């Protein structure tokens, strides 16, 4: 299971690596606040997040509210494909 953020070629004037960096910063803040460890990996235009405990995916979905109005921070999917691990 993992969380997938799509990094479009350009969104709101930001390039994919800039969007990824902003997501990473907000994710680090969220994880520190809730004392949750995670792993990140970017493959092409997909940024993936994994947790050690499956309960954190539901918790993430309920508590992921980064500041600002950028809708792309909320534009993610939870993938349940167990054959595709980071």
Report how far apart, in Å, the C-alpha atoms of 43 and of each of 3, 5, 11, 47, 81 are.
Answer: 13, 11, 18, 6, 16
Identify whether 85 is part of a domain. Answer: no
Q: What is the pLDDT of residues 19-45, one digit of tens each?
A: 888 889 999 999 999 999 999 999 988
Q: Whole-prediction pTM value?
A: 0.81
Identify whether 86 is part of a domain. Answer: no
Determine the Cα–Cα distance for residues 51 and 60; give it in Å rounded to an integer: 10
Q: What is the pLDDT of residues 63-76, one digit of tens each?
A: 988 776 566 666 78
Identify whether 35 is part of a domain. Answer: yes
Number of folded domains that form the chain: 1
Q: What is the pLDDT of residues 1-10, one digit of tens each?
A: 999 998 877 6
Which range of residues forms the domain containing residue 38?
2-79
């Amino acid at each position: 299971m993992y969380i997938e953020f799509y990094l479009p070629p350009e969104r709101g004037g930001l390039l994919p690596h800039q969007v990824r960096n902003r997501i990473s910063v907000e994710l680090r803040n969220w994880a520190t606040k809730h004392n949750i460890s995670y792993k990140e990996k970017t493959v092409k235009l997909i940024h993936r997040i994994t947790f050690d405990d499956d309960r954190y995916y539901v918790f993430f979905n309920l508590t992921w509210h980064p500041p600002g109005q950028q809708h792309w921070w909320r534009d993610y999917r939870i993938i349940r494909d167990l054959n595709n691990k980071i």
